[in-house]
Amino acid sequence: MKYITKYKSTNYNSRKNSKINLIIIHYTALKNTMDAISHLCSKEKKVSSHYLISQSGIVYYLVDDKYRAWHAGKAFWQDIVDINSVSIGIELDYNPDGKNNKFSFKMISSLKKLIFKLKKKYKISKKNILAHSDIAPFRKKDPGKYFPWKALYSSKLITNIEQTKNGDVKIIENWFHNHNIFSKKKIIILALSLIGYDTRQVYKKPKLYSELLKAYKSRYIYYKNMSKNKEVYIIIMRHLANFLLTK
The end-to-end CA distance of the chain, in Å, is: 28
What's the mean pLDDT in 207-221? 93
**What is the predicted pLDDT for the residue at 204?**
86
Tens digits of residue pLDDT in 107-143: 999 999 999 999 999 999 999 999 999 999 999 999 9
What's the mean pLDDT in 166-188? 90
Alpha helices by DSSP H, 128-227: 132-135, 149-154, 166-178, 184-195, 207-220
* CA–CA gap between residue 45 and residue 161 (Å, rounded): 37
Q: Is residue 63 a contact partner of residue 11, using CB atoms and an 8 Å limit?
A: yes
* CA–CA gap between residue 102 and residue 55 (Å, rounded): 8
Q: Give the burial class of 163: count Cβ atoms within 10 A of its Cβ; 0-12 exposed, 13-18 middle, 19 or more buried.
A: exposed
Task: Name the average pLDDT for the chain.
Answer: 93
- Domain-by-domain residue ranges, the chain? 12-154, 161-245
Verify whether residue 91 is a known catalytic residue: yes
What CATH number labels 12-154?
3.40.80.10
Tens digits of residue pLDDT in 136-165: 999 999 999 999 999 999 999 998 887 777
Q: Is residue 27 a contact partner of residue 91, using CB atoms and an 8 Å limit?
A: yes
164-173, 189-198, 211-220, 230-239: the lowest-pLDDT one = 164-173
Does the pLDDT at position 54 exceed 80?
yes
**What is the predicted pLDDT for the residue at 164?**
75
* Options 44, 91, 173, 211, the catalytic residue: 91
Task: Provide the total of helices (H) and of strands (E) in the chain, helices listed first.
Answer: 9, 7
